[in-house]
């Protein structure tokens, strides 16, 4: 794990220069972790992936979520204030052609207000996060990345082996070798459409289409949904797999397991057992120096109040176009200039 240790060594420092850059800014969220761009990067200027640029400024990010949609939906969503869009195919339609068209619509709508070519797009897939399921369905990971998206969130991520297989499926065979990972399996031809979406040459795409911050020049982000008791049992090792950059605790599905029946989860944490699961996942992400995702609310009385979530260390929040995101941006004195 020597490579991962080196690349993640300075993670906490950027938050001190981001959220705490002036006396007027809010205090640093306690124990929050934020990757700092490693010194050996060859990257200049903005990243393709807007999420990375925001994290390097010490800023939490906010996402909007859609379930499917093609070219016109892409043109519509290009105007989102969200830093990224979750394109939901876990329960929504598994349609890679439509995903391609969505990405094309984002591009055709023009650059975002931050100057990035598109908002970032993170995809969920209908793959159960078990070792056998990820191995059998690695083709879905590769089809998704070939559409030009910026990352994948593995649902029901039950084991470190499943997380590792996802990362290996996302990497080209010639990518820099990393302790703990086998050689990548992504194939030639996958760079064509994706490179046009990113606005780079096919050769440059293959160089930078790698997990960040494991690869300091990478532009892809991979996350884990820890959302059942089997995933909980392995969370501390799963989030340490090289190439994983964020995780969430999946309260909806956890509610089914912990609270015992559908309809009992209403959007809050709900019970002490649910709070304990959330805390375990949060603690695991802090220890591994990866980002934590949580639902965020603009209601100060809510357990998910956005300011409290940021203070607790959340660096990804729901509701990119919602009042909660506006409250969070104001709290962190956010600007979108680069």
Query: In which band, very low, low, confident or very high, does the pLDDT at 323 lie, cut at 50, 70 and 90?
Result: very high
- Has residue 18 been placed in a domain? no
Q: How many domains does the chain have?
A: 1
C-beta neighbour count of 182 within 10 angstroms:
12
- Has residue 338 been placed in a domain? no
Average pLDDT estimate for 198-218: 97
- Has residue 169 been placed in a domain? yes
- Has residue 154 been placed in a domain? yes
* Segment 236-290, tens digit of pLDDT: 999 999 999 999 998 888 888 887 765 444 544 568 888 899 999 999 999 999 9
* Segment 8-60, tens digit of pLDDT: 334 433 333 333 333 333 334 434 444 443 444 555 568 999 999 999 999 99
Domain that holds residue 109: 2-12+45-331
The tokens of 165 are what? 């297989």
Alpha-carbon distance of 70 to 147, in angstroms, equals: 12
The kind and range of the H/E element at 13 are helix 13-18
The kind and range of the H/E element at 317 are strand 314-318
Alpha-carbon distance of 69 to 93, in angstroms, equals: 9
- Has residue 234 been placed in a domain? yes
- Has residue 164 been placed in a domain? yes
Confidence at residue 101, expressed as pLDDT on a 0 to 100 scale: 98
Expressed in angstroms, the distance from the first to the final Cα of the chain is 33
- Has residue 337 been placed in a domain? no
Q: Residue 267: CA atoms inside 13 Å, Cβ hemisphere, count?
A: 7
Q: For position 295, which CATH number holds?
A: 3.20.20.60
The residue among 16 and 197 whose pLDDT is bigger is: 197
CB distance 178 to 172 below 8 Å? no
What DSSP state is assigned to residue 43?
A: -
Confidence at residue 113, expressed as pLDDT on a 0 to 100 scale: 83
- Has residue 291 been placed in a domain? yes
Average pLDDT estimate for 294-310: 95
Q: Which of 39-43, 96-100, 297-301 has the lowest mean pLDDT?
A: 39-43
State how far the alpha carbon of 46 is from the alpha carbons of 195, 208, 284, in Å: 16, 13, 30
On average, the pLDDT of the chain sits at 87
Confidence at residue 30, expressed as pLDDT on a 0 to 100 scale: 39
Average pLDDT estimate for 119-126: 98
Confidence at residue 269, expressed as pLDDT on a 0 to 100 scale: 56
The residue among 123 and 252 whose pLDDT is bigger is: 123
């Amino acid at each position: 794990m020597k490579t991962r240790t080196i690349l993640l060594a300075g993670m906490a420092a950027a938050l001190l220069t981001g959220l705490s850059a002036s006396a007027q800014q809010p205090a640093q969220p306690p124990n929050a972790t934020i990757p700092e761009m490693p010194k050996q990067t060859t990257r200049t200027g903005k990243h393709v992936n807007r999420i990375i640029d925001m994290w390097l400024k010490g800023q939490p990010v906010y996402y909007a979520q859609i379930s499917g949609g093609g070219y016109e939906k892409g043109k519509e969503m290009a105007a989102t204030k969200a830093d990224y869009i979750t394109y939901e195919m876990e329960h929504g339609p598994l349609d890679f052609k439509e995903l391609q068209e969505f990405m094309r619509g984002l591009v055709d709508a023009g650059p975002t207000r931050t100057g990035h070519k598109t908002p970032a797009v993170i995809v969920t897939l209908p793959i159960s996060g078990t070792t056998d399921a990820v191995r059998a369905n690695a083709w879905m990971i590769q089809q998704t990345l070939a559409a030009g998206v910026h990352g994948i969130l593995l649902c029901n991520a039950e084991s470190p082996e499943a997380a590792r297989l996802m990362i290996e499926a996302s990497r080209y065979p010639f990518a820099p070798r990393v302790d703990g990972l086998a050689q990548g399996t992504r194939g030639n031809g996958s760079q064509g459409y994706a490179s046009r979406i990113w606005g780079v040459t096919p050769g440059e795409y293959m160089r930078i289409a790698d997990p960040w911050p494991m690869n300091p020049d990478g532009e892809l982000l991979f996350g884990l949904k820890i959302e059942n008791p089997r995933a909980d049992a392995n969370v501390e090792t799963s989030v340490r797999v090289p190439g994983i950059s964020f995780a969430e605790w999946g309260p909806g599905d956890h509610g089914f397991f912990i609270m015992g029946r559908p309809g009992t989860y209403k959007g809050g944490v709900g019970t002490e057992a649910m709070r304990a699961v959330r805390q375990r996942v949060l603690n695991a992400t802090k220890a591994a120096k990866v980002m934590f995702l949580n639902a965020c609310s603009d209601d100060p009385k809510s357990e998910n109040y956005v300011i409290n979530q940021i203070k607790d260390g959340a660096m990804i929040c729901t509701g990119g176009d919602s009042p909660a995101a506006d409250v969070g941006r104001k709290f962190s004195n956010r600007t979108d200039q680069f």
